[in-house]
Amino acid sequence: MRSIIEYFKEIIFGVWSLLKGMKVTGSYFFRPSTIVTQKYPSNRNDLVMFDRFKGEVIMPHDENNEHKCTGCGICELNCPNGTIEIISQTIVTEEGKKKKAIDKHIYRLSMCTFCGLCVKACPSNALAFGQKFEHAVFNRALLIKQLNKPGSKLKKGVE
């Protein structure tokens, strides 16, 4: 008797679980708004990438052309591929002290695997990930980028 009850229980549970699966796919089918595919080349102009997308490493500058990079070189040490090269210089501050500062933050896009270790390791949050992803160029040299903009300065208060 128990096995007969089990038999019918199994059938009912089976049908119920199948219907549950069909509900999921059916709800997607009847709501085209859930489609995630982008018609990429034709929507280039208004394409918005998602927040955590890793397009390239950038150094954000504010409106006074100031960045937060102190030139400490921790990102260079953390990079597993040798993508980043820090060229530092010694500057004299207003109080007359000698201090190490960034001269060029060289970033070789062709060697980057977008692992994100540099961004995580930076003590002053000077680095971030940008959204640009169309990186194809005809000359390899164009992939070597300088992240700090020319004439930019260290932001006040960042040590």
Partner 1 sequence: MLPEIVALNTSPTLSVPWWKVVYDFSALTDWIDKSLHNSMSPFWTTITEMLIIGVLILLFYALVGLFLVYAERKVCAFMQNRLGPNRVGPFGIFQTIADLFKLLFKELIPIKNADGFLFNLAPFIVIIASFMAIAAIPFAKGLHAIDLNIGVLYVMAVSAMGVIGVLLAGWSSNNKYSLIGAMRSGAQIVSYELSVGLSLITIVILAGSMQLSVIVEAQRDGWFLFKGHISAFIAFIIFLISSTAETNRGPFDLAEAESELTAGYHTEYSGIKFAFFFLAEYINMFIVASIAATVFLGGWMPFHVGSWEGFNHIMDFIPPFVWYIGKTFFVIFLMMWFKWTFPRLRIDQLLTLEWKYLLPINLFNVLIMAFLVLMGWHF
C-alpha span between 66 and 75 (Å, rounded): 19
The reply on whether position 29 binds partner 1 by CB under 8 A is yes
The answer to whether residues 60 and 52 touch, using CB atoms and an 8 Å cutoff, is no
Task: Find the shortest distance in angstroms from Cβ 53 to partner 1.
Answer: 19
Q: Which is nearer to partner 1, 26 or 116 (CB)?
A: 26
In SS3 terms, 12-69 reads as: HHHHHHHHHHHHHHHHHHCCHHHCCCCCCHHHHHHCCCCCCCCCEEECCCCCCCEECC
C-alpha span between 66 and 13 (Å, rounded): 64
Task: Find the shortest distance in angstroms from Cβ 47 to partner 1.
Answer: 15
Q: Which is nearer to partner 1, 6 or 62 (CB)?
A: 6
Task: Find the shortest distance in angstroms from Cβ 52 to partner 1.
Answer: 19
Q: Are strands 144-146 and 84-92 parallel, antiparallel or unpaired?
A: unpaired
Taking CB under 8 A as the binding criterion, the range among 16-24, 60-68, 97-105, 140-148 that sits at the site for partner 1 is 16-24
Q: Which is nearer to partner 1, 12 or 142 (CB)?
A: 12
The reply on whether position 28 binds partner 1 by CB under 8 A is yes
Site residues for partner 1 per CB under 8 A: 11, 18, 21-22, 24-26, 28-29, 32, 34-37, 39
